[in-house]
Amino acid sequence: MKRFSVSCARLSRVVLSLGAAALLGSLAIPAHAQITWINYTTGSGLGNNLVRGVYATGSTIYAATQGGGLSISTNNGSGFTNYTLTNGLGSNTVRGVYAAGSTIYAATTGGLSVSPNNGTTWTNYTTGSGLGSNTVAGVYAAGSTIYAATSGGLSISTNNGSGFTNYTLTNGLGSNTVRGVYAAGSTIYAATTGGLSISTDSGASWTNRTTANGLGSNTVYGVYAAGSTVYAATALSLSISTNNGTNWTNYTTGSGLGNNIVNGVYAAGSTIYAATSGGLSISTNDGMNWINYTTGSGLGSNTVYGVYAAGSTIYAATSGGLSVGVVAVPEPSTYAMALAGLACGGYSLFRRRRAR
């Protein structure tokens, strides 16, 4: 029988040649490891320390503040420009924000304010434009369609705001008070104070999910969805459905959340971010385990109203500022070298056993 031999150096080169990306795909990296938080306040240029909502794309951060307008940074937080009534916003109290390309959507207590040119000019939409109410709590957009969560229903425009159709209890919504909205294709999710209302046909019909269906509370503050998984931020738990809302699993402080009051939610892959009234709770395994981040971790406040994440950066809208966290992830080459060492060690053990 021919004896097989190989040097550790050669084996290491083989492992490294597999590519760091492939190695990382089979290696779990805990997203909660070594998060460094920076808190931005009025001292950093924010309009107000109480931040109701946040969104980010590339190096641009959008912070919806309470009474201080919409604060925008184009350099990852190094400086902020503040937009208020003076610039054309409907109100200085901004409850939510979204952006797509050069278009910014600000949900204010004085209407839905939209800028098509990165904030240079604004158009404010109100009940006179067809909105259900001038108090807008949340906003989302896809293409030419705008979804506005108002205190008088869910208002939808399919022509960039030229006209709105308002959906209420009469149309099947759980309540006229809509706190948040999300959409994917023809499916719309409306977070209301009477349940989570879902339409799979662009608003033609609605199904309302409540505690009778397993929801943690009928008061839903925020919603997000990815595929068949729906995440509902409620007044008593984070409710998650993996079958489009048919069944629900509720996560509370008993599961590891910072507080049962969940104000907002976001998810990416198996990682879930829950903005609670007791900290920012993060799970990297679909809710099985949770790590809670508080002021002790570097957050501006334990009251978190909204959350967004992009890559290794987390954005938390708190009552004490905008907290931005960066997850320290080792370089891919570090994992590759570690696996090369494991392979080498394993082969050495194999040779010793064969020599006996």
Domain ranges of the chain: 8-355
pLDDT at position 11, please? 43
Domain 8-355 bears CATH identifier 2.130.10.10: yes
Check: CB of residue 239 under 8 Å from CB of residue 249: yes
Among 151, 148, 150, 87, which Cα is nearest to 117's? 87
On the CB side of 197, CA atoms within 13 Å amount to 29
Alpha carbons 214 and 93: distance in angstroms, whole number: 34
Quick one: pLDDT at residue 231? 98
Measure Cα distances from 180 to 91, 206, 258, 295, 299 in Å. Answer: 18, 16, 21, 26, 24
Secondary structure of residue 339 in the 3-state scheme: helix
248 forms bridges with which residues in the sheet?
Answer: none
The three state secondary structure string of 122-176 is: CEEECHHHCCCCCCEEEEEEECCEEEEEECCEEEEECCCCCCCEEECHHHCCCCC
Q: For residues 264 and 290, what is the distance between their CA atoms, to the nearest angstrom?
A: 16
- What pLDDT score was predicted for residue 329? 66
Q: What is the mean pLDDT of each run of 10 residues along the chain (356 residues)?
A: 44 44 39 81 98 98 98 97 98 98 98 98 98 98 98 98 97 98 98 98 98 98 98 98 97 98 98 98 97 98 98 97 88 51 50 53
Q: What is the pLDDT of residue 14?
A: 43
- Entry pTM: 0.86
